[in-house]
Structure 1
């Protein structure tokens, strides 16, 4: 940053402030809780207020903007890092030496990102005797702050979280357990490089994984409900220097290399080479028109297939989100198998693709392995649907990304809870010749992406009022991460994380989405000018 009067520095902060919404400001306030007092943070109204507080504490200045870069990295607003002269990878490389957000605060923020509204209601109910009766908790962040104010949650005491997540979410319980075990084995103070030699509690297994960006440490916790849960501690950047640390050895604990050497673990790799890797180019997404988005929403069926209650909510959300992203959305309801094929043929021959950047097709229906049901109860192969848009069949879409999102079961039904239904019936196995995986459904050509609500052979879940787990997570993550410059595969990874952490009200039914693709470049939707649909009302 140039200019002794700090004018350019202030202009830069104002630019970042203008890009951040109210949810982003709330996240920044939470992550700064250990750096700035509660009293001062409570008066914050904008990101600029936070920046000023950090400047006053000398955490942020013209010469050193890393803390701001770290905060933007933590809330996944990677597109703003370039304004500070950073990239996602450069921030990752320096976190081990300059990061100021504590592992405790990182863990709490990760939890808040994965606590659904349903989970939040259950947690508040379980803690009703410990929370102020007149205090309304609107978000997971507010709840965690309230627990800290009540003295029920501290850096050294996460027992309350362990108790509630035992009932509400075993996955989030594993996250808390990993933090607790890591705290036993890793330094207590922030950013301390030496490590005390200590064995993880509860017979946890400690493993080391290396990548070009960082060396990550994972703790494999003991069985939870009969399963071994592996969680990356690197989510909280609990990483240390690989090289030895100079200085006096008196009163100094061994460094990471020494610790893992004594535990008969090999630590290799490092940070070299990351900057020399070739960057993947992006698809052209700056045309006069973004593209067509088809939404096929099958709700009512002939025969014994049940009505897909709640699917209208999915179709409505898809319409709002893809319209916001600049696509022209066309919705078709209750289509037979022949009508689905005819629609594909119509849009395959359409001249409307000319001059557009991409094509999106969303199919909401019942399904079986590698296929979806038409309203008439007949199956249509997913591969057949997608094959209409290969370069040979649809030259207008040659070298353009073609995205297909399929909300349908890919296996047989299971017993359903009261408010959650499975998007399938018990299949007639005589009608299925073989099991088809998502990757086998994609045409053998480039530029396709298939996002499946669930892996082959399993059911997917739908709330009879709120819609499906997968489509709601997809719409939510698109609204959150497109403004942050994330590419579609990174967004779908976040969708996987979101859905995989959801659980029905009985805590026994889970779902895992699965993307497959032949994309050759990164697909990054341009940031819309208007606010996301969720913030328009």
Structure 2
């Protein structure tokens, strides 16, 4: 039984150019961009849907959903025999919606963006997108598509869009945050990086504020605008070392004291993001995977002994299980964080004297976990003992200048990781670096924005996370992209 051609023709004739553009945008998860770019008429769009099996004689559900999404209830009722109430009920059923929540969010945002606000988006994105794509005919949906092509917008990459909305229209930002909250409550399985069996212990929620690293307004340095800036012109800028521990089988097989350190799915997502960002920032990236404690020490010692005279910076990213003040090797042995940072003091690594030494540590600093939550943690032990030192000043930075240490979480607390999307902290860090470095923002302003984003997230609407940056920098640290 063929689909009534006349029925589709009537619908197509009723749709204007903007509505066709909306239908194409909402279909991007199902129809390739390349295919949709050639479509100029609604009837051709319906033909493409038929070719892809999205419209069939006995199943017009996708077409009905599309018309419902763009609020053409008149066509939905008169031509397809459905109604608003029927579609609302239908789309509540699991798996029935074919338009992704992410794409529908973008469409809804575009509907609320006025011409003046659209101009503001184009101005802010002037350095990110080709000028030919930001002409007077460019719609907000076109802007979203170009952002996706550029890699600065995606289902798991909303930071750039959120920052834009924060500057242009706060109500749009709230819409995005509501979407993220609903999404995390509905489908995210998170991994606080420490899992324990007892019912005791504090919630994984920050009991204080992180070390203050910037002025009251992120990105605004009224009182410190006179500060010098670290030289950052060498090519490459320096090396970014990634110590990435995923498989802890050696720890679980340890004799005589095996440790219940689980594997860390999702850590490679973080490593990929770090590699992408620091390569853009002109660093040489070296990743080392699944290191035992002694191997971590050996790798660090290799870079300590290197001659960094021709380089302007050193970066080390550590992705592993941990507890207060330490990270674990895959053999379950402990490595003090302070031991790793102290290796690069002026006395131990003279060629980095006066240059910024930057460490980012993704690991738990405690083992508190809300009972009954399906999560993993980056401490990974079944140990119920919890230290209660609540000082905010980090003890892991050498007592000399030019160090920056970004911790994923406060002392005593767990941090969260998604097997599919990576960790809250590293993903937020990479997204904010990617967005803010081209704008000349310094690292402390960026880390303040990371704190803000991560602190707004929650696991099961209860568990929270607050990163903790600490530093002895004496100048502004800016990573130029050119």
- Tell me, yes or no, whether TM beats 0.5: yes
Shift of 1:288: 2.6
Q: Structure 1 CA distance, aligned partners of 2:166 and 2:395?
A: 44
Q: 2:244 aligns with which of 297, 300, 307?
A: 297
Q: 1:515 aligns with which of 432, 450, 469?
A: 469
Q: Secondary structure at the match of 1:499?
A: helix
Partner of 1:447: 402
1:477 matches 2:437:
no
Q: Structure 2 CA distance, aligned partners of 1:510 and 1:434?
A: 18
> 2:246, 2:264 within 8 Å by CA — same for their partners in 1?
yes
**Residues 1:326 and 1:507: Cα distance change in structure 2 (over 3 Å):** same
Decide which structure has greater strand share.
Answer: 1
Q: Structure 1 CA distance, aligned partners of 2:290 and 2:241?
A: 13
Partner of 1:280: 227
Q: Structure 2 CA distance, aligned partners of 1:102 and 1:452?
A: 25
> 2:402, 2:474 within 8 Å by CA — same for their partners in 1?
yes
Q: 2:328 aligns with which of 370, 373, 377?
A: 373
Partner of 1:337: 293
**Residues 1:410 and 1:30: Cα distance change in structure 2 (over 3 Å):** farther
Partner of 1:401: 356
**Residues 1:411 and 1:290: Cα distance change in structure 2 (over 3 Å):** same
> 2:388, 2:412 within 8 Å by CA — same for their partners in 1?
no
Structure 2 unmatched runs, 5+: 1-106, 123-130, 139-160, 188-206, 208-215, 253-259
Q: 1:456 aligns with which of 384, 392, 411?
A: 411
Q: Secondary structure at the match of 2:297?
A: helix
> 1:413, 1:424 within 8 Å by CA — same for their partners in 2?
no
Q: 2:174 aligns with which of 111, 132, 135?
A: 111
Partner of 2:458: 503
Shift of 1:348: 0.4
Q: Secondary structure at the match of 1:340?
A: helix
**Residue deviations 1:174-193, cap 9 Å, x none?**
xxxxxxxxxxxxxxxxxxxx
Cα RMSD for the two superposed structures: 4.2
Shift of 1:354: 2.3
Q: Structure 2 CA distance, aligned partners of 1:500 and 1:308?
A: 22
**Residues 1:519 and 1:37: Cα distance change in structure 2 (over 3 Å):** closer
Question: What's the TM-score, normalizing by structure 1?
Answer: 0.50
Shift of 1:118: 6.6
Q: Which 10-residue stretch deviates more, 113-122 or 321-330? A: 113-122
> 1:422, 1:462 within 8 Å by CA — same for their partners in 2?
yes
Q: Structure 1 CA distance, aligned partners of 2:362 and 2:442?
A: 21
**Residues 1:109 and 1:349: Cα distance change in structure 2 (over 3 Å):** same
Question: What's the TM-score, normalizing by structure 2?
Answer: 0.56
Partner of 2:346: 391
Shift of 1:75: 8.3
**Residue deviations 1:142-194, cap 9 Å, x none?**
xxxxxxxxxxxxxxxxxxxxxxxxxxxxxxxxxxxxxxxxxxxxxxxxxxxxx
Structure 1 unmatched runs, 5+: 1-25, 52-73, 78-100, 126-226, 228-233, 236-273, 529-537
Shift of 1:45: 8.0
> 2:247, 2:264 within 8 Å by CA — same for their partners in 1?
yes
Q: Structure 1 CA distance, aligned partners of 2:298 and 2:404?
A: 22
> 2:322, 2:378 within 8 Å by CA — same for their partners in 1?
yes
Q: Structure 2 CA distance, aligned partners of 1:102 and 1:389?
A: 38
**Residues 1:102 and 1:300: Cα distance change in structure 2 (over 3 Å):** closer
> 1:503, 1:510 within 8 Å by CA — same for their partners in 2?
yes
Shift of 1:343: 1.2
1:314 matches 2:270:
yes
**Residues 1:403 and 1:417: Cα distance change in structure 2 (over 3 Å):** farther
> 1:452, 1:515 within 8 Å by CA — same for their partners in 2?
yes
1:490 matches 2:445:
yes
The count of aligned residue pairs is 310
